[in-house]
């Protein structure tokens, strides 16, 4: 289990997310959410305090990540090699 409001927005400025988002015509948040949702056994609970947030989150379901995209994201954001305590941001 992990918790972070997309690392308080910092991760959305990551060059890999921005590059893939531009290539796919999506937002970095949509790419990040699509990447998380494609993993079995993972549940994402995105914040949606505004109607435009809901629409952006919904748009993540239309993002089609290619094997190249997935490899780039997996390389940029590797899974932890061992259990780690939740960090407070």
Q: How confident is the model at residue 86 (pLDDT cuts 50, 70, 90)?
A: low
69-82 per-position pLDDT tens digit:
999 999 998 887 88
What are the sequence ranges of the domains in the chain?
A: 7-74
Average pLDDT over residues 13-23: 96
Question: 15-24 vs 67-76: helix axis angle to the nearest 10?
Answer: 160
- Round the CA-based radius of gyration of the chain to a whole number and report it: 13
82/34 Cα distance (integer angstroms) = 24
**1: buried, middle or exposed (CB in 10 Å: 19+, 13-18, 0-12)?**
exposed
Please state the pTM of the whole predicted model: 0.81
Q: How confident is the model at residue 56 (pLDDT cuts 50, 70, 90)?
A: very high
Q: Are 30 and 60 in contact, with CB atoms under 8 Å apart?
A: yes
Element (H, E) at 17: helix 15-24
């Amino acid at each position: 289990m992990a918790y972070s409001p997309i690392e308080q927005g910092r991760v959305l400025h990551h060059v890999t997310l921005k590059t893939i988002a531009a290539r796919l015509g999506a937002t970095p948040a949509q790419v990040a959410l699509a990447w998380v949702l494609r993993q079995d056994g993972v549940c994402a609970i995105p914040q949606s305090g505004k109607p435009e947030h809901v629409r952006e989150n919904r748009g993540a379901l239309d993002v089609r990540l290619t094997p190249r995209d997935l490899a780039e994201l997996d390389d940029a954001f590797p899974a932890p090699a061992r259990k780690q305590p939740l960090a407070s941001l």
